[in-house]
């Protein structure tokens, strides 16, 4: 299972040093929040551009915004590995088409209370399914274990479709192995990682 560090709760006093410590991760997870879809406002394209400039790792952009179509152009310009939109946001179909047309990996995210079977409508066009394991908006929340049943459902769909499964929120050493055993491909890790003394060693060990 691969690790995608989330920058949301990272110490930002020395971005260069931070990204050097994260260099053994699979990709960098960037949480864009508009203050409407979720209560919080995080950062936008300028910050993501800076991360791209300072890191060789692919970008994994998670849009927690009400109207993704209004913002996609800015993030498509960064040629990330994935852009993920929420199934609960507006114009999901149009957003997916736009991402795909630009040759970027399409991600589709599900809040903890949203039924996962809705993924079937879009499964042919999706490269990544993001299972939220906390309610979106903030880092540092507790992992909601029951969300892992969605991962089981996705394993069945994987037999006939080509996509990866990512979990996001509250991942730490106490649940990382459950995620791996259930077949999660990528875990987003935020707060837990930044509490560790040696982040790069942990990332190397979990490569």
Looking at the annotation, which residues are catalytic?
31, 168
From 59-67, 91-99, 139-147, 150-158, give the range in contact with Zn ion by CB under 5 A: 59-67
Question: What does 108 interact with, of ligand DX5, Zn ion, none (CB < 5 to 8 A by kind)?
Answer: none
Question: What does 189 interact with, of Zn ion, ligand DX5, none (CB < 5 to 8 A by kind)?
Answer: ligand DX5
The two three-digit tokens of residue 113, written as one number: 């209370």
From 27-35, 41-49, 93-101, 114-122, give the range in contact with Zn ion by CB under 5 A: 27-35
From 67-75, 154-162, 166-174, 191-199, give the range in contact with Zn ion by CB under 5 A: 166-174
| Contact partners, residue 58, CB within 8 Å, separation at least 6 | 26, 27, 28, 80, 81, 82
Least distance from Zn ion to the Cβ atom of residue 139, Å: 9
Q: Is the CB of 29 or the CB of 199 nearer to ligand DX5?
A: 29
31 binds Zn ion (CB under 5 A): yes
Q: Which long-range contacts (CB under 8 A, 24 or more apart) does 157-165 make?
A: 157/119, 157/120, 157/123, 158/183, 161/123, 161/124, 161/126, 162/127, 163/123, 163/126, 163/127, 163/128, 163/129, 164/127, 164/128, 164/129, 165/128, 165/129, 165/131
Residue located via tokens 């989330």 = 6
Q: Are 31 and 8 in contact (CB under 8 A)?
A: yes
Name beta bridge partners: 131: 110, 167
Q: Which residues bind ligand DX5 (CB under 6 A)?
A: 6, 8-9, 29, 31, 62, 134, 136-137, 139-141, 168-171, 188-192
Interacting positions 89-108 with Zn ion (CB under 5 A): none
Least distance from ligand DX5 to the Cβ atom of residue 29, Å: 6
Q: List contacts with Zn ion (CB under 5 A).
A: 31, 62, 168
């Amino acid at each position: 299972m691969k690790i995608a560090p989330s920058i949301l709760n990272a110490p930002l006093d020395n971005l260069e040093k931070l990204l050097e410590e994260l260099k053994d991760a699979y990709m960098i997870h960037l949480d864009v929040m508009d203050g409407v879809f979720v209560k919080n406002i995080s950062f936008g394209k300028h910050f993501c551009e800076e991360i791209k400039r300072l890191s060789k790792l692919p970008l994994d952009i998670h849009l927690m915004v009400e109207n993704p179509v209004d913002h996609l152009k800015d993030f498509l310009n960064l040629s990330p590995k994935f852009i993920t939109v929420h199934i609960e946001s507006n114009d999901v179909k149009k957003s997916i088409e736009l991402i795909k047309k630009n040759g970027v990996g399409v991600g589709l995210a599900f809040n903890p209370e949203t039924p996962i079977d809705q993924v079937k409508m879009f499964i042919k066009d999706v490269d990544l399914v993001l299972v939220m394991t906390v309610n979106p908006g903030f880092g540092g929340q507790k992992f909601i274990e029951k969300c892992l049943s969605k991962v089981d459902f996705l394993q069945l769909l994987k037999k006939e479709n080509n996509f990866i499964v990512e979990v996001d929120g509250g991942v730490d050493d106490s649940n990382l192995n459950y995620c791996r055993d259930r077949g999660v491909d990528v875990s987003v890790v935020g707060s837990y990682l930044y509490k560790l003394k040696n982040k790069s060693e942990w990332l190397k060990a979990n490569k």
